């Protein structure tokens, strides 16, 4: 027997050191520090015995009246207040920093608090504004946050891996430069899952991010920290990335709005690499996009970002017109008649897709789809909208399989090297999904999978968008946008998110897609004691797992309380402006029905 003492693997010491540096950054400068009293802290880790333990309301007990007012304003109102001199950029930044600090203590959503840097930038903006009313840009003074992978010079982009800690970036990501050129103040970077390839944000360096509305449910991933921080009002707007649903899933889990743009709309480059540089262009490309608390907020920022994106990111395409996607409430009619739809009288035709053919919808999701499609039909004449039901296209059913093949073409060798370098173990969810020793696919095999992708794209053009050809060979589209679920199930418990076909497929096709929260889940949605309809055929292993989330012998349905039901909107490639428009239409139609019901 060996007498040598066992040594801990290197990753543990690195993680402890990194966590200590994060705690220090949370309290710098001391004037912005707010410590959550012990009696307000939730149990860690959460257990079913403790119940949902919502924490989203706790900042209201700790912040000043001014801080609460500032962090409750919409982005247009906040920017107007800064321009009017009602609030300085420093006071706005301080309010959001305080709220972000509280959010971190309650949910563990931050990786890099950038508070000192943010306040220094705010002071510069205030100085310039005081000397002649100079604005840095149209988003002067707006506090924003970004996912951990985006590089900021002088700070780590560790993406939760010990091997990348204490290796600060030497240059900003193009999105960072673009945001700051517009006057934004970046206050923090946010937590992600190990390998960036799961829908539950947990890693060995920073730990798990928790859902602020129900700590038993997942906060989503891989932009889970962004979804939580925005929902906690610790950032006016956040920026994540999406390759399988990593913006839309956290938006769904935290009851906020999230947009996955088309490739080339928002700069994606300048991030910490998880594989060989350039490999993503051989497979499928992730995109960057916003998470916010309203479509108005997303619109306000995207109309400034998108037209300038190609000046900052080599991965962006030019936008040669003014962005006018959403008819803002304060500016009615700006976009209401911009899009002539595909209907016979110019109606905007919205197709309803209810199942991807791999997972049947569980009752709450089927119900909210009925409610949204019904609300759109009710508002149809007022909005010039026509709603049509679409059968599940075979291409959508096949897409998840092709997507999985493309996402794995690099074999994960670089990620494996980084993990093994510090003897870092896989977190539980990844332990059955990530294999060390993988090899990159040969070029011929990659080409074969891309050919499968192209065939599915052609089928979608025919079967979803309803492109028809007249006797002269002229083509006409029949559908302008789609509404569909984000998942077959409600927001699930930690580690129980099922198949991602409802979100990943739109990345495969490069269709812009977004999450619109509809309403809170009600007790009546749970149908306690009522079993799932057994007459419906089990569609496969994914469907079987999804049904377990409703099977009362395996899941207490009451766990879904304190969660939000959402829907997904989708448009065709590069129609990002139209996506914003249809998301606003869905939002307006749903709220209109809810307002009428509230009066009854």
State the catalytic residues: 147, 222, 246
Sign of CA dihedral 554, 560, 565, 571: negative
Tell me if 137 is assigned to a ligand binding site: no
Tell me if 244 is assigned to a ligand binding site: yes
Checking DSSP bridges between strand 143-147 and strand 185-190, what pairing results, if any? Answer: parallel
Q: Helices then strands (H, E): number in the chain?
A: 20, 15
Tell me if 246 is assigned to a ligand binding site: yes
Q: Nearest Cα to 236, choosing from 167, 187, 182, 203?
A: 187
| Radius of gyration from C-alpha coordinates of the chain | 23
Q: How far from the centroid of its chain's Cα atoms is residue 82's Cα?
A: 27
- 89, two tokens: 């950029």
Helix (H, G, I), strand (E, B) or coil at 349: strand
Spatial contact of 222 and 199, defined as CB atoms under 8 Å apart: yes
Phi/psi of residue 518, each to 5°?
Answer: -110, -55
Spatial contact of 306 and 319, defined as CB atoms under 8 Å apart: yes
Rounded alpha-carbon distances, angstroms, from residue 49 to 8, 53, 213: 33, 10, 16
Rounded CA gap, 49 and 36, in Å? 23
Rounded CA gap, 15 and 2, in Å? 28
Measured distance between the N- and C-terminal CA atoms of the chain, rounded to whole angstroms:
78
Q: Nearest Cα to 60, choosing from 212, 201, 190, 239?
A: 212
Spatial contact of 292 and 256, defined as CB atoms under 8 Å apart: yes
Q: In what order do the strands lie in the sheet with 287-292?
A: 110-113, 185-190, 143-147, 237-242, 287-292, 257-260, 513-520, 564-570, 481-484, 348-352, 385-389
Tell me if 196 is assigned to a ligand binding site: yes
Spatial contact of 315 and 264, defined as CB atoms under 8 Å apart: yes
Binding residue positions for substrate: 196, 222, 243-246
Residue stretches of the annotated binding site: 196, 222, 243-246
């Amino acid at each position: 027997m060996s007498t040598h003492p066992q040594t801990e693997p290197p990753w543990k010491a690195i993680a402890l050191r990194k966590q200590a540096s994060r705690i220090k950054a949370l309290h710098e400068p001391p004037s912005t520090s707010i410590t959550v009293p012990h009696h307000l802290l939730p149990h860690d880790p959460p257990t079913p015995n403790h119940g949902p333990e919502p924490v989203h309301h706790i900042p209201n007990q700790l912040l000043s009246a001014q801080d609460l007012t500032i962090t409750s304003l919409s982005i247009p109102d906040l920017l107007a207040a800064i321009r009017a001199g009602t609030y300085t950029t420093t006071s706005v930044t301080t309010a959001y920093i305080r709220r972000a600090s509280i959010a971190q203590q309650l949910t563990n959503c931050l990786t890099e608090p950038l508070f000192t840097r943010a306040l220094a930038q705010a002071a510069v903006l205030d100085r310039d504004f005081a000397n002649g009313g100079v604005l840095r840009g149209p988003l002067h003074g707006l506090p924003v946050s970004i996912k951990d992978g985006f590089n900021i010079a002088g700070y780590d982009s560790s993406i939760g891996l010990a091997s990348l800690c204490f290796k600060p970036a030497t240059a900003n990501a193009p999105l960072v430069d673009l945001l700051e050129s517009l006057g934004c103040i970046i206050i923090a970077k946010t937590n992600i899952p190990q390998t960036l390839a799961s829908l539950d944000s947990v890693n060995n360096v920073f730990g798990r991010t928790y859902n602020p509305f129900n700590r038993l449910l997942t906060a989503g991933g891989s932009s889970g920290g962004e979804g939580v921080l925005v929902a906690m009002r610790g950032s006016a707007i956040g920026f994540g990335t999406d390759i399988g649903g990593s913006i839309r899933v956290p938006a769904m889990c935290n009851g906020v709005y999230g947009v996955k743009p088309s490739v080339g709309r928002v700069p994606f480059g300048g991030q910490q690499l998880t594989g060989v540089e350039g490999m993503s262009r051989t497979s499928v490309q992730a995109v960057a996009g916003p998470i916010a608390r309203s479509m108005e907020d997303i619109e306000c920022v995207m109309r400034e970002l998108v037209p300038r994106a190609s000046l900052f990111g080599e991965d962006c395409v030019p936008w040669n017109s003014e962005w006018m996607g959403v008819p803002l409430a304060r500016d009615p009619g700006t976009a209401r008649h911009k899009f002539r739809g595909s209907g016979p009288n110019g109606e905007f035709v919205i197709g309803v897709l209810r199942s991807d053919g791999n997972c049947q919808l569980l009752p709450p999701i089927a119900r909210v789809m009925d409610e949204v499609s019904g609300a759109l039909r009710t508002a149809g004449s007022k909005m010039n909208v026509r709603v049509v039901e679409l059968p599940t296209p075979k291409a959508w059913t096949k897409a998840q399989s092709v997507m999985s093949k493309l996402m794995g073409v690099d074999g994960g060798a670089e990620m494996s090297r980084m993990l093994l370098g510090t003897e870092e173990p896989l977190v539980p969810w990844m332990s059955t999904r990530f294999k060390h020793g993988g090899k990159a696919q040969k070029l011929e095999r990659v080409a074969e999978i891309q050919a499968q992708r192209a065939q599915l794209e052609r089928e979608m053009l025919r079967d979803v968008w309803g492109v028809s050809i007249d006797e002269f060979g002229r083509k006409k589209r029949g559908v302008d946008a789609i509404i569909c679920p984000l998942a077959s199930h409600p927001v699930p418990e930690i580690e129980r998110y099922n198949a991602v076909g409802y979100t990943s497929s739109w990345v495969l096709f490069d269709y812009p897609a977004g999450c619109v929260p509809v309403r809170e889940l009600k007790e009546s949605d749970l149908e306690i004691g009522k079993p799932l309809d057994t007459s419906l055929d089990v569609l496969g292993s994914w469907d079987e797992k999804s049904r377990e989330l409703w099977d009362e012998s395996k899941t207490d349905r009451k766990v879904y309380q304190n969660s939000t039901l959402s829907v997904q909107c989708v448009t065709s490639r590069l129609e990002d402006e139209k996506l914003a428009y249809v998301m606003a239409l869905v939002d307006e139609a749903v709220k209109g029905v809810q307002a009428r019901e509230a009066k009854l």
